[in-house]
Homo-oligomer: A and B are copies of this chain.
Amino acid sequence: MTDAAISAPAASPSFGGVDDELRRMLAERTARATAYGASFVALWEAAADTLLGGKMLRPRLLLAAYDALTEAPDAAAARASVVRIAAAVEVLHFAFLLHDDVIDGDLQRRGRPNLIGTLLNQRAGLRTHDDAHWARTNALLLGDVLLSDAHQILAREDLPHEQRVRLLDLLDHTVTESVAGEQLDVGLADRILPADLTTVLDMTRLKTATYTFEMPLRAAAIRAGRTAATELAVAELGRHLGIAFQLQDDLLSTFGRPDEHGKDAYSDLREGKETAAIAYARMTSAWPAIEAHFGSAHLTAAEGDLLRSHLTGCGAEAFVQSLIDDQLRACVTLLADPDAGIPAALHPVISDILTTIEGRRA
């Protein structure tokens, strides 16, 4: 998904300290790597190049929500702990991206070499099968260490046992859902699973909504000392936001202007990505015309434009937009209902996100 610039109160040049925390962690990891040879050091150096410099959507959301929810906003020790947890969410995100790229065999992300591409570019001369295997393996192994690190950061916080267990439950839930979502995504891509709308929407929710919106909001609620009931309420909000955001992201990939949204025009259509729009189009009479070019590695711009107009013409674009509207409306309803249990202090943070998602229309 695209980490579009969602405005969040805690945003600052160093993202509320998360950037510094990530730099500190990576420097420590790189220093420790020297005990294991030059290749291990090189892996951590390449990791730093690709991990830093992101938009930090998830940590920023976590910090903004925490600052809104906490009743001790200036307790420095507590906030430093929350910054570490926010960094852990970014580390988890990077671990997922790495394993996603290993699974998909991708060498780029957002038009730049990803870690695999970076490592491959470091090999001199013609790239061999062994070079490609080595680069992919490094990404898999780095993902393993970062997945471990996400757990280590949370587990090391000196918190009351009950609060630590709640954070660990949340991380466990998040990893399980993200992995289950990735399995659905690959099952769709490998044509193991039927490309129906239910499966595509489950995949959307599990693969990204959970860890991108639900987890930061719940972690903030836990660390702000809120009840389990509040945690569940913000979890529901996070799921709606996450599904809306990811569906909007998929729409932009197909219908947006690449110069505005930084998406590679037609790349989803070229890859044959199973999105909600495609699942809808499969059920219409426009499908044979779409199927003729969908997933073609050599899709031309003219063919891409044709696919887009078919997807609009058959109602797929409008259908996905209606799904997004449903999710956004569900958020507004939750915010307006005093019995839903969303703390009023969180309203401005959520309203900012809603405005941003609505403003990203294609």
**A→B interface (CB under 8 Å):** 32-33, 36-37, 39-40, 43, 99, 102-103, 130-131, 133-134, 137-138, 140-141, 143-145, 147-149, 151-152, 154-156, 158, 161, 164-165, 168, 171-172, 175-177, 179-180, 182-184, 186-187, 190-193, 199, 202, 206
Minimal beta-carbon separation of A298 from chain B (angstroms)? 19
How far is B182's CA from A38's CA once the two chains are assembled, in angstroms?
A: 14
Instruction: Contacts A137-B186, A156-B165, A165-B156 given; indicate if A176 touches B39 (C-beta within 8 A).
Output: no
Which B residues touch A199, using CB under 8 A?
Answer: 37
Q: Nearest residue in B to A141 (C-beta to C-beta)?
A: B179
Which B residues touch A144, using CB under 8 A?
Answer: 99, 143-144, 147, 175, 179
Interface of chain A, helix or strand or loop or mixed?
helix
Closest CB pairs A-B (n = 4): A155-B155, A151-B151, A36-B180, A130-B190
A168/B180 in contact, CB under 8 A? no
Instruction: Kindly identify which residue among B168, B172, B183, B190 contacts A40, using a CB–CB cutoff of 8 Å.
Output: B183
B40/A130 in contact, CB under 8 A? no
B39/A130 in contact, CB under 8 A? no
Number of copies: 2
Which B residues touch A43, using CB under 8 A?
Answer: 183
B182/A141 in contact, CB under 8 A? yes
Instruction: Contacts A36-B177, A130-B190 given; indicate if A172 touches B147 (C-beta within 8 A).
Output: no
B39/A187 in contact, CB under 8 A? yes
Instruction: Contacts A43-B183, A175-B145, A183-B43 given; indicate if A134 touches B190 (C-beta within 8 A).
Output: yes
Q: Nearest residue in B to A191 (C-beta to C-beta)?
A: B130
Instruction: Contacts A137-B183, A151-B151 given; indicate if A193 touches B145 (C-beta within 8 A).
Output: no
Q: Nearest residue in B to A123 (C-beta to C-beta)?
A: B192
13 pairs of residues in contact across A and B, judged by CB atoms under 8 Å: A32-B176, A37-B180, A39-B183, A39-B192, A99-B140, A103-B137, A134-B186, A141-B179, A144-B144, A145-B176, A147-B148, A148-B151, A148-B171
How far is B133's CA from A186's CA once the two chains are assembled, in angstroms?
A: 9
How far is B171's CA from A43's CA once the two chains are assembled, in angstroms?
A: 21
Minimal beta-carbon separation of A218 from chain B (angstroms)? 16
Minimal beta-carbon separation of A345 from chain B (angstroms)? 30
A192/B130 in contact, CB under 8 A? yes
Instruction: Contacts A99-B144, A133-B186, A141-B183 given; indicate if A193 touches B155 (C-beta within 8 A).
Output: no
The residue among A141, A144, A175, A184 with the most chain B CB atoms within 10 A of its own CB is: A144
A180/B40 in contact, CB under 8 A? yes
A175/B148 in contact, CB under 8 A? yes
Given contacts A37-B184, A152-B168, A152-B171, 19 further A-B contacts (CB under 8 A): A33-B180, A36-B183, A37-B199, A39-B183, A130-B190, A130-B192, A134-B190, A137-B183, A137-B186, A141-B179, A145-B176, A147-B147, A147-B148, A148-B151, A148-B175, A149-B172, A151-B151, A151-B155, A155-B164
